[in-house]
Chains A and B, each alone.
Chain A
C-alpha cells in the first residue's frame, strides 16, 4: 500500500470530525472511535540470510509478500540468467524501506545485490527488470 492510501483513513476521520463539530454536542454521545489501524497483508517469513546482520534474503526465485521486522534488513540477490541480462538495480516504493550497505561484499559477476532496512510499519513493493523483459516483484511487509 502506498503512503497516499495509508493516509486515506486519517483523512476520512478528519473530515468526519470537521462535519460533526458543526453539529450540536450531545452529552450522551459516545466518544468518536479511533481511526482504524492500518491492516497489513499476510506475509511469509524471509528465507535464511547468508550475510551477517540480516533478517533474510530474496532472490529472483521468490515472489509474493515477505515479512520484515521493523529495524531489520532484507538482502536481495538477483542473478542474471546469462551474460547481458543483468537485472537492473532494485527499486522500492514508498519510504518505509531505507537502502542499506551493500558494499560490504563483492557480489559475483552478473548478480545485482540490494539491501533495505525496514524503518516504519507498512508495505513496500520491490521491483526490478532484466533486458530480456523479465520482471521481478516482491512485497515487503514491515511490522514492529
Chain B
C-alpha cells in the first residue's frame, strides 16, 4: 500500500531536551495468548459525574480534553491513519504462541470510517473524588447499557473529571484498561482515563517538541496516553489473553516514553490533523526482530 497523503510524521526524533531517553523493551516480540483481539473497533466515551456539567453537555473541561479526545479518535481511520495500522499485523484464531500472523487468522481491525461510536455525559450524580476500581468498572457497565453495547469490539472509556484522582493516578499510572462483564453477560473492555492534564509532565505534558504542528504541548499526554491504551485494548481487550511479551508487557507499554531514536514519540498527522503519540510495538519490524514504530503501511514500509 502506498503511503497516503496527509499521514506523515511531522516531528520525528525532535524531542524536548530535558527528557531522559527511554529504550524499547528488550523482552522480545509480543506473543499470542489465544484470546480475542478487536476485529472491528468502536470507541465510546462516558464523561462520569456532574463535575463535567449538570446537563447533557460538558461545560467544565479546563484543558479541553473532551474535544481533543474526540478529535483524535474521529481522525483515526482509513488510509489517512498510518499510526494504528501497525496493530493490524496481530490477529486471533491462530495457534497460541504465534508471533507472526502472516495473514492467518482474523486481524485486528482498522476502521474505514470514524470509530467514535458515541459519547455520554452521565451527570446523574457527582463522581467520587477517589473512585475505586470497582466503581470505575460499574460506570463502564452503566455506560454500556446506555449505549446498548457489549463485546470485545467495543471499548468504553470512562473519563474522569478534572480534580478526581483515583488511587495511584499520577504516581503509579496515567491510565489503565481492563475488562468486565456487561449487564447482558458479555465481555466489556473499558479504560480508566483520569483527567490526564492534572498529572502534568509525568503523564506526557510537553513530552514532544511541537514545532509548528499546532499541537498544544500541555495537552500532549491526552493523546499519548489515549493512543497507548486504545492500541493495547485493540490487541489485548481481555488482559492478558491477547498479545503480550514474555514479561507481560503489551504493545504500548513496550514503547512508552521513548524520547529519541527508533520509536521516539512524535507528532503525527491523522487525516490532516496533528496529534502527539508514542510509538507502538511492531513484531514484523526488521524482518521479525520487532521494534517500536509510529508509521506503518506494510511490513516492509514502517518506521
- Chain A residues with CB under 8 Å of chain B are 48, 50-53, 57, 75, 77, 79, 83-84, 86, 89, 99-111, 113-115
Contact = CB atoms under 8 A, between A and B. Distances in A.
Is chain B's interface secondary structure helix, strand, loop, or mixed overall?
Answer: loop
Contacts of B176: 51-52, 104-106
B115 to A, nearest CB: 20
Counting chain B residues whose Cβ lies within 8 A of the other chain, the interface size class is 35 or more
Contacts of B204: 109
B244 A106 contact: no
Nearest to B236: A103
What 6 A-B pairs come out closest when comparing CB atoms?
Answer: A103-B250, A50-B168, A103-B253, A105-B176, A101-B240, A108-B202
B248 A108 contact: no
Most chain A CB within 10 A, of B173, B175, B253, is at B173
A83 B15 CA distance: 15
Interface in B243-299: 244, 246-254, 256-257
Contacts, number: 111
Interface in B62-106: none
A106 B256 contact: yes
Nearest to A52: B133
Contacts of B166: 50
Contacts of B201: 109
A51 B133 CA distance: 7
Contact of B248 (A48, A57, A102, A109): A102
Interface in B102-137: 133, 137
A103 B248 contact: yes
A109 B240 contact: no
Interface of B: 18-20, 22, 133, 137, 166-168, 170-178, 199, 201-204, 207, 225, 228-229, 232, 236, 239-240, 244, 246-254, 256-257
Contacts of B171: 77, 79, 108, 111
Nearest to A117: B248
Given A105-B173, A106-B256, A107-B172, 7 more contacts: A86-B22, A101-B236, A102-B249, A103-B239, A104-B176, A105-B177, A106-B225
A105 B233 CA distance: 11
A63 to B, nearest CB: 18
A77 B171 CA distance: 9
Given A50-B167, A52-B137, A83-B19, A102 B253 contact: yes
A101 B176 CA distance: 12
Contacts of A77: 171-172
B247 A86 contact: no
B2 to A, nearest CB: 32
Contact of A101 (B19, B133, B239, B256): B239
A108 B244 contact: no
B240 A100 contact: yes
21 contacts: A51-B172, A51-B173, A52-B133, A79-B171, A83-B19, A99-B247, A100-B248, A101-B239, A101-B244, A101-B250, A103-B240, A103-B244, A103-B253, A104-B239, A104-B250, A105-B175, A106-B174, A106-B229, A107-B253, A107-B256, A114-B247
A9 to B, nearest CB: 32
Contacts of A114: 247
A77 B202 CA distance: 14
Contacts of A101: 236, 239-240, 244, 248-250
